[in-house]
Amino acid sequence: MESFLISTGIVALAEMGDKTQLLSLLLAAHFRKPWPIVAGILVATLANHAAAGAVGHWAQQVLSPQWMRWILGFTFLAMAGWMLIPDKLDDAAPSATGLGVFGATVVTFFLAEMGDKTQIATVALAAREDALFGVVAGTTLGMMLANVPVVFAGERITQWIPMKWVHRIAAALFAVLGVLVLAGVGGTLF
């Protein structure tokens, strides 16, 4: 349960202002059909985070605990720095129009999530935790908590939340996790 809750919180914070959250806003504005968009985000996130979790679980099996500690510690510190760089929507516009709303959402969201902060966080969490299902379920819930409100409420939400502070808090959280992992502090999590 601990890995589920930690994964949910970390990814929900990391997703705030992220390019996939911006993509959710773009999809909602473009298609104006929230339920197929939400379903597409769920399917894309489950597939992406299951693959990321499998990579993290594999790394846990082949790397020594000492190597894992150093790699994860520096990964969390890198994530802290990355959180301070605001995302832009690049080329993630829904161009897969022949697939319908659901299909366009699955394809564009899955591709936008490749190599993203939350995918890398999923790899790192799965490598550290011994609860692959809990990590994938938690990171997926975190993505849904951050993206579903955007699909339904759109731009109004982004006006209420000061993204600069969300990014700073998330960066601080990742930095603390990185330092704790490198120091070997924290019981089962670290």
Sign of CA dihedral 110, 92, 115, 132: negative
Tell me what pLDDT residue 151 has: 92
- 153 domain residue, yes or no: yes
CA distance 72 to 50: 19
Tell me what pLDDT residue 140 has: 96
- 14 domain residue, yes or no: yes
- 26 domain residue, yes or no: yes
Number of domains in the chain: 1
- 190 domain residue, yes or no: no
187: pLDDT strictly greater than 70: no
CA distance 68 to 166: 28
Structure tokens given for 100 = 């319908």
Residue 145 vs residues 10, 55, 64, 106, 150: alpha-carbon distances, Å: 11, 24, 34, 17, 9
Question: 3-48, pLDDT tens digit by residue?
Answer: 899 999 989 988 887 778 878 887 887 787 899 999 999 999 999 9
188: pLDDT strictly greater than 50: no
Tell me what pLDDT residue 189 has: 42
Domain limits for position 167: 2-183
Q: If you average pLDDT over every residue of the chain, what do you get?
A: 80
- 92 domain residue, yes or no: yes
Question: 79-108, pLDDT tens digit by residue?
Answer: 678 767 765 544 444 455 567 889 989 988
- 139 domain residue, yes or no: yes
Tell me what pLDDT residue 83 has: 65
Asked if residue 108 lies in contact with residue 2, where contact means CB atoms within 8 angstroms, the answer is no
CA distance 70 to 75: 8
Tell me what pLDDT residue 92 has: 47
Question: 109-153, pLDDT tens digit by residue?
Answer: 888 888 778 888 899 888 887 788 999 999 999 999 999 998 998
- 51 domain residue, yes or no: yes
Tell me what pLDDT residue 159 has: 63
Tell me what pLDDT residue 186 has: 54
Structure tokens given for 19 = 């390019």
Placement of tokens 């659901």 in the chain: 102
- 42 domain residue, yes or no: yes
